[in-house]
A and B are shown apart, each in its own frame.
Chain A
C-alpha cells in the first residue's frame, strides 16, 4: 500500500515515519554490512562448487587460475573411491537411527506423559541427568563393548553398533522433548477415545500420534541428519574404508599426501551438501523450533 501512495508527492500517507537523512545513512550502512556478510558466506561455498567442476586442477585445489568445465572430479569420485558405499552407508545408518529413535521414543514419550507409575519421577530425573552427559564419555568402552557383542551375535557389525549409539544417545533428550509436547495435548481426547473402547496403543496411534506428528517429524529429522554431520563416532568405530560414512570417507580424500584429491573432495562435499541444504531451507522453521524446545545436549 505504501508504495502506491508514495508516488503521490503531495500527501505523505505511509504508516512509517518519514525517512530522515540519518536514517537513510544507517540504512545504507545496514545494506553494506548485509551484502558484505552475504559475500563472506557465499565466497567459500561458491569455491566448493567452482573447484568441483574445474578441470584445470590436479590433486590440489587452485583458485583464480584458468577454468575449464569438466566432470573429471566427479568421475574420479564415482569410479576411484568408495563414494557410493559411503552414501549408502550413511543413508542406511541415518534411516535406521531415525526409525529406531521414533519407535523407542514414541513409547517412552507417551508413557511418561500420560501414565503415572511408581519410579516415574526418579527415572525422569535420571533421564534429565543422562541427557547432560556428553556422548563421547563412553568412547573408551565402545570399542571393546562392540567386540564382546559381536562375539555373541555374529552379524552385529560396527555400523549397527553406531546406529545403537546414535539412537541410544538420543533417547533421553528426545523422550523429554516428546513428553513435553504430548503434555500440551488435552487428555479429554484420550478419555473420549477410551470410553469408545480404545486400548492404550490405539489411543496413541489414533489420537496422540496424529497430533504429535510435527514433533515426531522433527525428532525423526534430527536423528536422520545427525549421522550425516558426525565425524567423531564413525572415525572411532569404523575401520574399513568401505564401511565409512560420508564424513569419514570424504576425509580420506584430503587426509594424506598419497590419496590427496582435493577437487574430488569438493565434488563429494557438493553432492552431500545439496540435499541437506534443500532440506534445511525447506524446513528451517521446524528445525529451529525443534532445537529450541528444551533440548540441551551436552
Chain B
C-alpha cells in the first residue's frame, strides 16, 4: 500500500499527513504513479535518496518532543502531592476528579505547543483538554449535591425532633374532608344511576375513578408532611449522587472516544503482517497492536485450542476413544474392551471441538487483520471503553445464545450426526463391541427389503402410511364434525360439551392407551362384551382383538380418532368463534340455507386456517410411538411375513425402537431413522413454510 499524503479518520474525513517523512514519501509515490516511463527512474532515485528514518529532521524533532513528554510524565508524581495539598474538598471522588483535572491541565498546556508535529499529540491535547474542562464542573456539581444532602439531612433531623402534631392534625382534617367529598360524589353518581342518566357500567367506572382520585390526593398530601418530605428528599439526593458520578464519567469517556474517532493515526506499516504472523496464536496479535484486555479473552481461546481441542482430537484426554483417528478406525484391532461406538462418538466430539477451534482462529485473525488495515488507513483502534460498549451491542446476542448453542450442539446435533454415521456401519447383535464401516449396505437392504432386519421394511412402511392417513383423517373428521355441531347457534350447554370433549386430550394419552389395552386384553371387559354381542360363548373360538391383525389395526385407528379429535375440536372451536357473524348474516339475507353457509363459509375458513397444523397432525401420527407400543406392543406377530422383530401393527418408529433398543440392530435401525427423518423433515418443512409466522419472517 502507498503512504499517500492524507490519512482517513473513522468518519471518513481526510486529514493531511503531519509526519513529514511519510509525507515526502507519499508525494514521491504519487508522482511515480502518474509519471511517464522516462521520469520514473529519476523519481525512484529520489525516493532512494530520501534520508533514513533516524537521520530525518522531522524524526529528530519528534524525538526531542518525545523526550520532553517523558520528563513531563515523570514529573506527575511530584505534581500530585502539590495538587493534593491544594485541594480542600474531603470527598474522595471530588478529590480524584480535581486531581485528574489539574494534571490534565498541565498536560494539555504542554501538548498545545506541539500540535503540528503529530496527530498523537493532537489527540492527547484534545483528550486532556476535555478532562480539564469537564471534571471541575462535574466536581462542582457534586459538591452542590453533597451540600444539598447535608442540608436535607439537617432538615430531616429537625423534622424528627420537632413536634409535628399540628401537621398531622391538618393532614387528618384534610383526609376526612376529602373522603366526605368523595362520598358526596358517589352519592351523586348513585342518584344519577337511579334517575337512569348513566348505565350500571358507567356507575361502576365512575365510582372506581372517584375512589382512585381521592386515594391519590390523600397520598400526595401525606407525602408533603414535613417528616415524609424530608425523608424522601434525602433518599432522592442519595440516589442521584450514586448514579450521577457514573454517568459523568461515562459521558467523559464517550467524548474522548469521539475525539479518537476524529483524530487519525499515522503508522509506518504498509502491510497487515501481524495478523498473518500471529494467526496460530489468537490473542498475541491483539496484544501486539495494543489491545491488552481484549487479548486476554483471545488468549483464553488459545488455551482452549491448545489444551483442549487439539489434544482431544489427537486422542489425549479421551474417555476411551482415540480422537479423530478413532472415527476412522472405529477401534478396529483395538483392545477387547474398546468399543467402536465410543470411538465414533468421541471422534464426532473431536470434530466439533476442532470446528470451534477453527472458528476461533478465524475470528481472531479477522479481528487483528481488520484493525491493522484500519490503522494503515489512519483510523485509531478501539480502546477498552469502546470495545466494551460495542461488545454490549454486537456481542450480546452471541454471549446469551452460547448456552443454547452448546446444548443444541451436544444434545441435538451430535446424536443426529452419530445416528447418520452408524447407518453406514454393520452395528448389529454380532458386532456390538466392534463394528466397521460398510458403506451403503444398510440402505440397500432396506430398499431391497432383504435381511433379518430390512425384510419387513416395505410391509411396515405400507401400514405406517395407511395408519397415518386413516387415523389422522378420522381424528380430523370427528373433531371437525364435533366443532360444527357444538357451535351451532341453537345448541345449548356449549361449555358443558366443550369441557367433556377436551378430556381425551387432557388425560395423558399413555394412561388411556394403557387402559384401553387392558380393556381389550384376552380376559378384558371389552373383549368379553364383544364376544357376548357376537354370541361366542365357547372360549375356544372367542374373538380376540389383540390376536387378529385387522382387529388391532381397526381398534388402533378408532382409538386415535378418540384421542386426536379433542385437539382438532378445540382448534376449530377457537377459529369458529373468531369468524365474524356478519358473514352469516349477509349470507342469510342473500337466502343461503344453513347447509350452504357451512359449506361455503365455515369449512373453507376452517380449512384455510388449520391446514398447516393438520400437516403437523399427520407427522405426529407418523411418529406416534406410544399408541402402537403401549396398546399391543406392535403385535400380533406373524413371523413368516414380518420376521421375529416386528409385529403386524408396528409402524416405522416402533420398528426402529425394537431394532435399536430391544434387538440391537443399530446399523439398520439408524439407516431407517435417516430415511424416515428426511421424509418427515420434508413434510414438516412444507407445512411449516405455509405458516403465518414463516411467511411474515423478515429475515
Taking Cβ atoms with an 8 Å cutoff, the residues of A that contact B are: 16-17, 19, 23, 26-27, 30-31, 33-34, 37-38, 40-42, 44-45, 47-48, 60-64, 104-105, 107-108, 110-112, 115, 117, 120-121, 124, 128-130, 132-134, 136-142, 144-145, 147-148, 151-152, 164-165, 167-169, 171-172, 175-177, 180, 197, 199-200, 228-229, 231-232, 236, 246-247, 250-251, 254, 262, 265-266, 269, 272-273, 276-277, 279-281, 284-285, 288-289, 291-294, 296-298
25 contacting pairs across A/B (C-beta < 8 A):
A30-B491, A34-B491, A37-B501, A41-B562, A44-B515, A45-B507, A61-B525, A129-B685, A136-B656, A137-B419, A137-B677, A139-B415, A139-B656, A140-B422, A145-B414, A168-B412, A171-B408, A200-B396, A251-B514, A265-B518, A272-B511, A292-B574, A294-B692, A296-B616, A298-B623
Q: 9 closest Cβ contacts across the A-B interface? A: A138-B415, A168-B411, A294-B693, A280-B506, A111-B397, A141-B418, A107-B400, A63-B525, A141-B415
- Contact A272 to B508, CB < 8 A, known contacts A30-B488, A45-B503, A60-B523: yes
Q: Check if B666 is an interface residue, CB within 8 A of chain A.
A: yes
Q: Which of A137, A273, A289 contacts B511 (CB 8 A)?
A: A273
B685 in complex: contacting residue of A121, A132, A152, CB < 8 Å: A132
* A140-B482 contact in complex given A117-B394, A231-B510, C-beta closer than 8 Å: no
Report Cα–Cα, A247/B342, bound state, in Å. Answer: 30
Q: Does B605 contact A (CB under 8 A)?
A: no
Report the nearest A residue to B348, measured CB to CB: A141
Q: Which of B401, B623, B629 contacts A134 (CB 8 A)?
A: B623
Q: Report the Cα distance A27→B485, complex, angstroms.
A: 9
Taking A38-B497, A138-B415 as given, write out 14 further A-B residue pairs in contact, using a Cβ cutoff of 8 Å, ordered by the A residue number. A23-B594, A130-B412, A132-B680, A133-B416, A137-B673, A141-B414, A141-B419, A145-B415, A229-B510, A232-B625, A236-B657, A273-B508, A294-B694, A298-B623
Binary contact track B505-529/A, C-beta < 8 Å → 1, others 0: 1111111101111110001110000
Q: Which residue of A lies closest to B481 (CB)?
A: A33
Contact with A along B233-251 (1 / 0, CB 8 A): 0000000000100010000
Complex Cα distance, B697 from A98, in Å, reads 26
Task: Determine whether B571 belongs to the interface, using a CB cutoff of 8 Å to chain A.
Answer: yes
Min CB gap B203→A, angstroms = 22
* A140/B507 in contact, CB under 8 A: no
Given contacts A140-B670, A298-B681, contact A27 B490 (CB under 8 A): yes
Q: Please report the C-alpha to C-alpha distance between residue A60 and residue B303 in the assembled complex, in whole angstroms.
A: 64
Which residue of B339, B412, B512 contacts A44 across the interface (Cβ within 8 Å)?
Answer: B512
Interface residues of B in 416-454 (CB under 8 A from A): 416, 418-419, 422, 427
Interface residues of B (CB under 8 A from A): 243, 247, 319, 339, 341-342, 345-346, 392-394, 396-398, 400-401, 403-404, 407-408, 410-416, 418-419, 422, 427, 478, 481-482, 485-486, 488-491, 497, 499-512, 514-519, 523-525, 562, 567, 570-571, 574, 588, 594, 612-613, 615-616, 619, 623, 625-626, 629-630, 653, 656-657, 660-661, 666, 669-670, 673, 676-677, 680-681, 683-685, 687-688, 691-694, 697, 699
When the two chains form the complex, which single residue of A62, A117, A121, A133 contacts B397, counting CB atoms closer than 8 Å?
Answer: A117
Q: By the criterion CB–CB under 8 Å, are A17 and B588 in contact? A: yes
Q: Contact: B669 with A140, CB < 8 Å?
A: yes
The contact of B401 among A107, A145, A276, by CB within 8 Å, is: A107
